[in-house]
Structure 1
Amino acid sequence: MPSLYEVQRDTASPQWSTTSITKNTLDKGHCHSPMKPIPVELISDIFTWASHSSDELHDSISQPITISHVCRLWRRVSLSTTSLWTTIFLTLPLSHNQLTRTATWIVRSRNRPLHIHMDFRDPAWAWDEAVHSFHWKAMENIMRLILPQAPRWQHIELLTDTWAPIFTFLSYTARVKSAPLLQDIRLARCNAYFVAKGEPFRPANMAHPIAWFGGGAGLRGLRKISLAGVHVDWANAGLTGLKDLELKYHSQQVMPTLEEFVCIMHANPELERLVILGWGPHIDESLKDATQIVQLLHLKEFELGFVDVDYAIDMLSIFCVPNIQELIIEDVASGINPSQNQDSSRFFDYLSVLSDETSSPYFPLRSLRSLSLRGVLVANDSIHRFMSHLHSMKSLCLAGIDALSLHALCAAVSTCASIATLTLKDIDAAAAASVLEDSLKPLPSYLRILVDIYSDQDDLDAAAIAAAM
């Protein structure tokens, strides 16, 4: 891998500045561009908008290159526009050219905040942890390149299939004493299987947690973090002042203690969105008491995916979220192994109890405006009691629900007079048509129904659904 000095010497551009490109420069330029009369500052803004307005990361890389090769004037303006070069994107197959490009972007962006995206997922991977096209050594080369720029990191995203590259990232960031601009971190080991009940963390020799970013002391501006299958030293994670927190698909073995989890929640009183898919803290009933109730007064959106219904009930028992507006509930276990559907009725019964104003913890269903249920199996009585509390709900989404539960849920829609939109997703077309024919007749005039079906005979089943409506 070339050194940063070599890349600077060979590929870095002259240190143009926007103010140095004077009117005289434009008048004597060799490019007869229709943009010549336009002020340089405005050209620079147009280039930035053209490069970063798309959601496609590839555009943030390709557009600056294209712009800088149109003519001499455009090249001078683009090379002086530091905001053009702030997005770094690395993916498989990792090449020498990608590393060289990254070093060049680092130079051209100068002191601008950096957005770093790394996606090393391999669709051809055979699920063997020891054999992958991207390994720790390649990650080490990348960290040596980007780590000196840690004071400029604003957004970091790292997606992998295996643990070794994540472990390398965490180990290197442990040396970072300060990342003052870092607002958003997304780390994902994209293997949801580890969330299965009783599944240990692997590889076992890398299970010990790492106190990243100087034991968390280097994270002062962090506002959003997503950890999917990635654990850290929870007691020294620096998770404070967050607005958005996601903890997803972890082995139960590596999750925080209840005391550590409660401390994290108390350090984030302004949290607006919380996602827990799989396991939350280790809950020892003998250690639970009223002092461990977590009040999140600003929480608006809560997404909870459970592997075990009894555990989900225990976890809900520590929360007080009086201003919740959007709730997403998912049976994660059914997504991992569809044959392991569990009856979630007692979970919904418990939510109904928490909706009582006199209870603590407190989970006011009456204030919900949006509800999504994914893959849950629930009985008639429980879901009717639950839905009867939803006085303000405008939107209901049912995804991956089996036919019996779908009938029960749709029949309960009549208890929610405020609902305006019902969305059915990943539902068998025949089941959807049957539900619309039986459970929702007559259809309320104010109810809008959106159906996203799957079937081998989509056209025929779509016609059946249309007839049912």
Structure 2
Amino acid sequence: MLVRQSSKATTLPTEMLSHIFLLSSMTSHQTALAFPVTISHVCRAWRSIAIGTANLWTTIQFTRLPSIHPSLMDYEQQRTWLTRSKGAPLHIHLVLNQSPKKEWNEEVLDRHWFSADDMDRVLDLIIPEAHRWSSAHVLTDSYAPMYRFLQRSSHIKAPILKDVELYRCNHFYGQSAEFHPRRFKDSFPLFESAEKLESVTLSGVHVDWGSTG
């Protein structure tokens, strides 16, 4: 006769399991993305605890899914994470670079897989939560989406934002003393206000420091 035995882990207090889940998710950025989903599919009890642990769901990342058009990016998943994170501080990661084998001339025609309109769709989700941004990292290799991010974020208040990293990861911007593409030469303030800001890293990105609050 087979007797089903419960794991001793299921007898731990909810608060302890929640803390263990949080510690386990902090080992790396990729773990922070994968662990909450994995742990929430172990059993019904753990799923309930995981979903109820807001800090498990605070890494919000938008990036290209393999072989998927940006219109099919997993916006619903990120919307779910935003909901589950409740009022907890958020870590925003926008990883929007194209394959290094792809090349294009930004001055002539923008054929990048991720456009300014696609960035608008992402920003429509995360800007309403700007009061919760703790960090914001944006990586692109086409300036159109970065320009849109700078344009729209110049009007937002981010009261707990501490760390900002904005990277334009190509060499096009360094070919001359003049900014390229020329149509994006205008600069914007880096947020309307971000009084807790401690660290800013910019690469191939220009902002209007004189108007930055």
**TM exceeding 0.5:** yes
Q: Who is 1:125 aligned against? A: 102
Contact 1:113/1:154, CA 8 A, preserved across alignment: yes
Contact 1:86/1:105, CA 8 A, preserved across alignment: yes
1:203 to 170, 175, 181: 181
Q: Who is 1:224 aligned against? A: 199
Rate the CA distance shift 1:97–1:70 in 2: closer, same or farther, 3 A.
Answer: farther
Contact 1:171/1:212, CA 8 A, preserved across alignment: no
1:379-405 deviation digits (Å, cap 9, x = unpaired): xxxxxxxxxxxxxxxxxxxxxxxxxxx
Could you tell me the percent identity over the aligned residues?
36
Counterparts of 1:8-23 in structure 2, within 5 Å, are none
Shift, 1:191, TM fit: 1.8
Give TM-score, length-normalised by structure 1. 0.41
1:134 to 83, 95, 114: 114
Amino acid at match of 1:132: H
Contact 1:189/1:230, CA 8 A, preserved across alignment: yes
1:23-64 deviation digits (Å, cap 9, x = unpaired): xxxxxxxx933212322111001111112222xx33212211
Whole-angstrom CA distance in 2 between matches of 1:153 and 1:96: 25
Contact 2:172/2:180, CA 8 A, preserved across alignment: no
Whole-angstrom CA distance in 2 between matches of 1:85 and 1:72: 18
Shift, 1:97, TM fit: 5.2
Counterparts of 1:176-255 in structure 2, within 5 Å, are 176=156, 178-196=157-175, 198-214=176-192, 218-238=193-213
Q: Who is 1:69 aligned against? A: 41
Q: What's the RMSD between the two structures over aligned residues?
A: 1.6
2:128 to 134, 142, 148: 148
Give TM-score, length-normalised by structure 2. 0.88
Bigger radius of gyration: 1
Asked if 1:47 corresponds to 2:21, the answer is yes
Contact 2:190/2:209, CA 8 A, preserved across alignment: no
Whole-angstrom CA distance in 2 between matches of 1:193 and 1:231: 14
Please give the secondary structure, in 1, of the residue aligned with 2:165: strand
Q: Who is 1:28 aligned against? A: none
Instruction: Report how many aligned residue pairs link the two structures.
Output: 201
2:61 to 75, 89, 94: 89
Q: Who is 1:399 aligned against? A: none
Please give the secondary structure, in 1, of the residue aligned with 2:11: coil
Shift, 1:95, TM fit: 5.5
Whole-angstrom CA distance in 2 between matches of 1:144 and 1:76: 29
Q: Give the ranges of 4+ consecutive aligned residues of structure 1 lying more than 2 Å apart after TM superposition.
A: 93-97, 192-196
Whole-angstrom CA distance in 2 between matches of 1:228 and 1:97: 26
**Greater relative contact order, per chain length (Cα 8 Å cut-off, separation 6+):** 2
1:260-300 deviation digits (Å, cap 9, x = unpaired): xxxxxxxxxxxxxxxxxxxxxxxxxxxxxxxxxxxxxxxxx
Whole-angstrom CA distance in 2 between matches of 1:151 and 1:98: 23
Shift, 1:195, TM fit: 2.6
Shift, 1:212, TM fit: 3.5
Whole-angstrom CA distance in 1 between matches of 2:43 and 2:154: 44
Whole-angstrom CA distance in 2 between matches of 1:167 and 1:83: 30
Amino acid at match of 1:126: E
Please give the secondary structure, in 2, of the residue aligned with 1:158: strand
Contact 2:135/2:164, CA 8 A, preserved across alignment: yes
Q: Who is 1:33 aligned against? A: 7
Whole-angstrom CA distance in 1 between matches of 2:84 and 2:116: 28
Gapped regions of structure 1 (runs ≥ 5): 1-30, 239-469
Q: Who is 1:313 aligned against? A: none
Please give the secondary structure, in 2, of the residue aligned with 1:110: coil
